[in-house]
Amino acid sequence: MRRGKHKIDPNLLDHLRAELRSTYPDLHLYQDNGHILIRGSFPVAHEGAILDRYSIEIELPESYPESIPIVREIGGLIPRTADYHMNAQGEACLFLPDECWRFFPPGTSLVPFLDGPVRNFFLGQSLVRRGQPWPFGQWGHGPQGIYEFYTELLGTNDLVTIRRYLEYLTKENVKGHWSCPCGSGQRLRNCHLNEVRDLRAKIPRSAAIQSWKSLRALRHPINSHIPPKAEPESQEVNCTFQ
């Protein structure tokens, strides 16, 4: 994976260092040929005790804090397979890009990111290593996981309807006179226009495009039920490996 050069505000880096010193003293921020990396030992707290420690590396993208930090497990404790929510490069799949608004909304700083999705990811790994189930639930792999996510989000398990909504999320603009993606036959302005606008504000267009392409290849979902809605703060999700 090619890494980009960074132009992050030095004041922001000083703030990040101070945050880490006070909350995660075993994680250290440094610059490597223009790349901003955080490395060290990440403690997994559970029921008042440290359950495990993982050697991790976090790379801050050039557009941080607008973009999600890349988290890698570098100690070799976690298999680099989709079943463990890891890709071949050791990057952790913390959540679907489509639900960044739940787990990394605008304005999220580093420590809440570590306390929330990063901690939950590694807690799940530790519990599974001990023979327990994933504690927060998980989406399926590939297109199936995307389908499950949008089934929960839209409240429908109809694949055609989900594809229509996703197609509207891929557009640069939507028009009120278009047919509503819900399939009612009404114009969008008279039906689900506000819902479509809300989704477009939450879900990055780039993520919607990838998901729409993935669902075009899905003909028969493995699970067609609507999964129970989980609390966003506690749900661990599986990124989709293509």
**Single-letter code of the amino acid located at 85:** H
Q: With pLDDT > 90 as the criterion, what percentage of the chain qualifies?
A: 63
CB contact at 8 A, 81 and 45: no
Question: Mean of the pLDDT values across residues 12-35?
Answer: 91
**Single-letter code of the amino acid located at 134:** W
**Closest by alpha carbon to 126, among 46, 235, 71?**
46
CATH (residue range 10-129):
3.10.110.10
* Predicted confidence (pLDDT) at residue 16 exceeds the cutoff of 60: yes
pLDDT digits 0-9 by tens, 149-199: 999 999 999 999 999 999 999 999 999 999 999 999 999 999 999 999 999
* Predicted confidence (pLDDT) at residue 25 exceeds the cutoff of 70: yes
Place of tokens 């090619």: 2
* Predicted confidence (pLDDT) at residue 1 exceeds the cutoff of 70: no
Give 240's pLDDT tier (boundaries 50, 70, 90). Answer: very low
Give 218's pLDDT tier (boundaries 50, 70, 90). Answer: confident
Give 227's pLDDT tier (boundaries 50, 70, 90). Answer: very low
* Predicted confidence (pLDDT) at residue 229 exceeds the cutoff of 60: no
Radius of gyration over alpha carbons of the chain, in Å? Answer: 19
First to last CA, the chain: 16
Residues of the chain with CATH 3.10.110.10: 10-129
pLDDT digits 0-9 by tens, 27-78: 999 988 878 999 999 999 888 889 999 999 999 998 888 889 999 999 999 9
Give 8's pLDDT tier (boundaries 50, 70, 90). Answer: low
Place of tokens 């790349």: 35
Specify which residues 91 forms β-bridges with: 72
Give the Cα separation of 89 and 87 in Å (integer).
5
Mention every residue, 6+ apart, whose C-beta is less than 8 A from residue 19: 109, 110, 111
Residue 63 has which token pair?
Answer: 């557009």
DSSP helix/strand/coil, 110: helix
Residue 122 has which token pair?
Answer: 């590694």
pLDDT digits 0-9 by tens, 73-129: 999 999 999 889 999 889 999 999 999 999 998 888 899 999 999 999 999 999 999
Place of tokens 């493995």: 222
CB contact at 8 A, 173 and 187: no
Alpha helices in 135-229 (DSSP H): 142-154, 159-170, 193-202, 205-216
